[in-house]
A = this chain, B = another copy of it.
Amino acid sequence: MKRRDFLTTSALGLGAFGLSGCYREENKISDKNIHIKKGRVVKLKLATSWPAHFPIMGTGVDNFAKRCKELSGGTLNIKVYPKNILVPALQVFDSTSLGQIDAFHSGVYYWKGKNSAFSIFGGMPLGLTSEEMITWMKFGGGLDLWRELYGKFNLYPLIGGTTGPQMGGWFKKPINSLTDLKGLKMRIPGLGGEVMKKLGVNPVLLPAGEIFTSLERGTIDATEWVGPALDSMMGFDKAADYYYTGWHEPGSILEITFNKKRWEQLSDEHRAIITAASEEMTGNMLQEFRYKNAKALQELPKNVQIKTFPKEIMDAAKAALSEVLELESKKSKDFKQVLESYNNFTTLNKKWDDISTKNFLNIRS
């Protein structure tokens, strides 16, 4: 994505809380709020990394804001700004950290440059599914670690949706062996891209608006994106015939992240409202992705062939991932600590998942 300069306005710098004349008496609610008067309408500015009303992710956060207003009897007004309106898509982390805006909605994998450990909170290639990621976060210590590390940036994160399993991407030619990957130019970011690089792929970074044309013209040979619902909108089925099943983003986590100081200034009631609304959003988004992916898959044109990478490639990907994780752990204490927590949960979870969900899905078919 393109980075635009941050559109500062003096108003933003002065703090984004707004106080209206509306007033509400509170009923026995403990209130740690120092700066904000009880019962006043609180206005928050939330910027996203998506275009306005972008399907599922963008509409999800629109609904979240609407829900906060409903749940609070109108006292919590979160205004959602699509990307590049208040701040550029990938500037939302810094702007919220600095208190120029109050909150953002984005994907955790974007902030790897801030701290490599953050990439684990966003999801792991060949790792946990969405439901498992959230379970690790809530019950396996992941959320505490995330909040601790984001705290150093004056940020307080909440889970703000999840994509479910993503697809492996669109290829112009079939991939039958590791040899077919050598020198392939593919748009694939994050840890998945690093794994692919070790398998001989040349990972390319491209702004969203340039991917289709690059794929169509053969400037790149392949691209990953999300899944059938969002990929169809990008028109990839008109530029490539081979659509591979997923391995590198089995459960990507999105985030609703607040400026930590702002978060602490909110009343207990408003914090509870934001938390409950973010939980509702997370479930809804996962289910909406499932439904719309299933619908879009059904409607793919006939030229599209669904394929799965051969075992040789997935085995090599597992080995490459181990190397990438080992190297990152050596470079960063934070990465090592988060990976350890993640791995502990993965070990615990796997034995149960193997005999429950995985076993059942195999019996069912």
Q: Which residues of B contact A167 (CB under 8 A)?
A: 356
Q: Least Cβ distance of A255 to chain B in Å?
A: 16
A98 beta carbon closer than 8 Å to chain B: no
Instruction: Tell me the A280-324 residues at the B interface (CB within 8 Å).
Output: 280, 282-284, 286-288, 290-291, 293-295, 297-298, 306, 308, 314
Instruction: Find out whether the CB atom of B287 lies under 8 angstroms from the CB atom of A247.
Output: no
Instruction: Find out whether the CB atom of B227 lies under 8 angstroms from the CB atom of A356.
Output: yes
Nearest residue, chain B, Cβ from A227: B356
Q: Which residues of B contact A41 (CB under 8 A)?
A: 27
A245 beta carbon closer than 8 Å to chain B: yes
Q: Which residues of B contact A277 (CB under 8 A)?
A: 276
The residue that A272 contacts in the complex, of B67, B126, B138, B228, with Cβ under 8 A, is B67
Nearest residue, chain B, Cβ from A22: B27
**Cα(A306)–Cα(B291), bound, Å:** 33
Instruction: Find out whether the CB atom of B280 lies under 8 angstroms from the CB atom of A348.
Output: no
Interface range for A: 35 or more
Instruction: Tell me the A316-365 residues at the B interface (CB within 8 Å).
Output: 348-365
Q: Least Cβ distance of A276 to chain B in Å?
A: 5
**Cα(A73)–Cα(B29), bound, Å:** 6
Instruction: Find out whether the CB atom of A75 lies under 8 angstroms from the CB atom of B27.
Output: yes
Instruction: Find out whether the CB atom of A286 lies under 8 angstroms from the CB atom of B131.
Output: yes
Instruction: Find out whether the CB atom of B165 lies under 8 angstroms from the CB atom of A295.
Output: no
Q: How many copies, total?
A: 2
Q: Which residues of B contact A349 (CB under 8 A)?
A: 290, 294
Instruction: Find out whether the CB atom of A293 lies under 8 angstroms from the CB atom of B165.
Output: no
A216 beta carbon closer than 8 Å to chain B: no
Q: Which residues of B contact A294 (CB under 8 A)?
A: 348-349, 351-353
A148 beta carbon closer than 8 Å to chain B: no
Contact code string A125-138 (vs B, CB < 8 Å = 1, else 0): 01101011011001
Nearest residue, chain B, Cβ from A271: B70
Instruction: Find out whether the CB atom of A134 lies under 8 angstroms from the CB atom of B29.
Output: no
Instruction: Find out whether the CB atom of A269 lies under 8 angstroms from the CB atom of B361.
Output: no
A74 beta carbon closer than 8 Å to chain B: yes
Q: Given A27-B22, A71-B273, A139-B287 in contact, is the A246-B356 Cβ separation under 8 Å?
A: yes
Q: Given A24-B27, A74-B29, A360-B250 in contact, is the A284-B279 Cβ separation under 8 Å?
A: yes
A54 beta carbon closer than 8 Å to chain B: no
Instruction: Find out whether the CB atom of B132 lies under 8 angstroms from the CB atom of A290.
Output: yes
6 A-B residue pairs with Cβ-Cβ distance under 8 Å, sorted by A, are A73-B269, A131-B131, A132-B290, A165-B360, A279-B280, A294-B348
Q: A22-B27, A250-B364 are in contact. List 11 more A-B contacts (CB 8 A).
A: A24-B25, A70-B269, A71-B71, A132-B290, A135-B287, A165-B356, A246-B359, A247-B363, A290-B349, A298-B348, A314-B363
Sort A-B residue pairs by CB-CB distance and give the 9 closest, nearest first.
A294-B352, A139-B291, A279-B280, A27-B74, A70-B272, A358-B361, A165-B356, A135-B287, A276-B276
